[in-house]
């Protein structure tokens, strides 16, 4: 006899009631408790599901993408990720500050050369080379890696202002990058900066980069806008080929022993997936850009949840850092197994639990909020 979790039944019934009150005929997909264990219980040779997908116009063998991180800093690392089973690789980020620093250094060397005098015959000034610089190394890695892997290699640029540094996007594309992921990380420290000024900074950067390359451009951004949905629509209209939700806000901490502010970085955990999953669910079917999920991916369950919410691809770095590049194959096989057991195609599963097309997204979110708090009162008042 199939057994269901009583609390899950109660939550599903409440959710269905709320949706019905809003005029939606969408139903909740409730699985037996025993079916919620999404382990790969079928050999890969028996898999029949086709995981091929499209991401911002690029053809991928599956929807799992290695996001920007330390594993893509070398040719061997990129090869390992490709062999591990991912559908695409986003390289580690090249930062605006690094590009500007190298450009300033070149300009300084040129100025020094222009002041040399003809009598100094033993000195032959030449145009400075950037062969030992970070930009050259990055472009060289693209040239080496792109031809030897059979999946898209996406370059990553991280910046916060409009400027000449974005010309590097064209160099990345010329080197062989299949696409550009533009990670815009901007914290408006000036308290006089308006929300609209921040919004325009993002759209200006996207439009600038789009004007310089013919390859698709994804925008990785944070959720901290006064109206994220409107911002997503503006970026979509500005030509973004994909929206990557979300980059992580690396908040500083205070070291009580040393009495100083310290920066830090921690690998993500599955709890962090709830916010991007909510927005992907709300944006699904409402923007032309592809939707990429990132943050909080550790298991097959996390990947499947993102797909059900409407993600075109699911990105991870933390899971691959913890478990090795070959772990990607286990995640992909787990998705295939889950689809086979449910007798679903990837296309049928994608967006199955997104905000219904006929629902008011604001009312839908409010309904879920109220329902969740009402359930909490019942559960924790015992």
Question: What confidence tens digit (pLDDT) does each residue in 107-126 have?
Answer: 666 555 445 444 444 443 44
Give the residue-averaged pLDDT of 121-136: 56
Which residue would you say has higher pLDDT here, 358 or 123?
358
Element (H, E) at 335: helix 327-342
**126 within 8 A of 159, measured Cβ to Cβ:** no
Query: Comparing 284 with 13, which gets the higher pLDDT?
Result: 284
pLDDT at 14 over 60: no
Q: How confident is the model at residue 372 (pLDDT cuts 50, 70, 90)?
A: confident
Alpha-carbon span 382 to 380, nearest angstrom: 5
Mean pLDDT along residues 171-191: 91
Residue 218: name the closest of 161, 274, 270, 152 by CA. 152
The pLDDT of residue 133 is 87
**In whole angstroms, what is the distance from residue 28 CA to residue 267 CA?**
32
**What is the model's pLDDT at position 376?**
76
pLDDT band at 23 (very low <50, low <70, confident <90, very high): very low
Q: Which of 268, 213, 215 is nearest to 246 (CA)?
A: 268
Crossing angle of helices 134-145 and 75-84, in 10° steps, is 40
Adjacent-strand bridge partners of 261: 254
> 108: buried, middle or exposed (CB in 10 Å: 19+, 13-18, 0-12)?
exposed
CA distances from 83 to 77, 129, 144 (A): 10, 35, 16
Contacts of 27 (CB under 8 A, 6+ apart): 16
* Cα angle: 348, vertex 352, 358; to 5 degrees: 120
Q: Is the pTM of this model over 0.85?
A: no
pLDDT band at 377 (very low <50, low <70, confident <90, very high): confident
The answer to whether 166 touches 204, Cβ cutoff 8 Å, is no
pLDDT band, residue 5 (cuts 50/70/90) = very low
* Residue 350: pLDDT band with limits 50, 70, 90: very high
Proportion of the chain above pLDDT 90, given as a percent: 59
pLDDT of residue 108: 64
* CA distance readout (Å), 263 to 200, 224, 253, 258, 285: 28, 20, 6, 13, 38
- Residue 24, pLDDT > 60, answer no
Residue 150 has pLDDT above 50, yes or no: yes
Model confidence over 232-263: pLDDT tens digits?
A: 999 999 999 999 999 877 777 888 999 998 87
- Cα–Cα distance between 19 and 144 in angstroms, integer? 52
> Is 129 a residue whose pLDDT tops 60?
no
User: Tens digits of per-residue pLDDT, 287-344?
Assistant: 999 999 999 999 999 999 999 999 999 999 999 999 999 999 999 999 999 999 999 9
């Amino acid at each position: 006899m199939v057994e269901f979790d009583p609390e899950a039944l109660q939550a599903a019934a409440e959710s269905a009631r709320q949706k019905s009150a809003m005029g939606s005929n969408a139903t909740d997909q409730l699985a037996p408790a025993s079916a919620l264990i999404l382990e790969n219980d079928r050999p890969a040779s028996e898999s029949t599901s086709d995981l091929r997908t499209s991401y911002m116009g690029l053809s991928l063998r599956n929807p799992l993408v290695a996001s920007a991180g330390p594993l893509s800093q070398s040719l061997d690392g990129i090869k390992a990720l490709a062999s591990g089973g991912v559908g695409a690789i986003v390289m580690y980020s090249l930062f605006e500050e690094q590009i500007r620093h190298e450009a300033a250094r070149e300009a300084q060397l040129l100025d020094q050369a222009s002041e040399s005098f003809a009598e100094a015959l033993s000195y032959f000034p030449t145009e400075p080379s950037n062969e030992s610089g970070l930009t050259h190394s990055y472009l060289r890695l693209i040239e080496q890696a792109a031809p030897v892997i059979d999946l898209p290699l996406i370059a990553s640029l991280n910046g916060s202002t409009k400027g000449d540094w974005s010309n590097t996007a064209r160099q990345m594309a010329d080197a062989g990058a299949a696409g550009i992921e533009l990670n815009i990380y901007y914290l408006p420290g000036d308290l006089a900066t308006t929300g609209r000024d921040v919004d325009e900074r993002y759209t200006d950067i996207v439009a600038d980069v789009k004007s310089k390359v013919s390859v698709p451009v994804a925008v990785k951004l944070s959720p901290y806008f006064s109206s994220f949905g409107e911002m997503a629509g503006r970026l979509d209209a500005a030509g973004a080929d994909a929206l990557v939700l979300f980059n992580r806000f690396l908040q500083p901490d205070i070291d009580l022993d040393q009495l100083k502010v310290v920066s830090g970085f921690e690998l993500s955990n599955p709890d962090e997936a709830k916010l991007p999953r909510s927005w992907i669910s709300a944006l699904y079917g409402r923007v032309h850009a592809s939707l990429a999920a990132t943050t909080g991916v550790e298991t097959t369950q996390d990947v499947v949840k993102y797909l059900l919410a409407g993600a075109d691809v699911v990105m991870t770095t933390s899971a691959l850092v913890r478990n090795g590049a070959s772990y990607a194959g286990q995640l992909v096989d787990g998705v295939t197994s889950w689809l086979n057991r449910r007798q679903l195609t990837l296309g049928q599963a994608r967006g199955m639990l997104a905000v219904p097309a006929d629902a008011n997204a604001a009312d839908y979110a409010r309904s879920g909020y109220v329902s969740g708090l009402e359930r909490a009162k019942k559960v924790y008042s015992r």
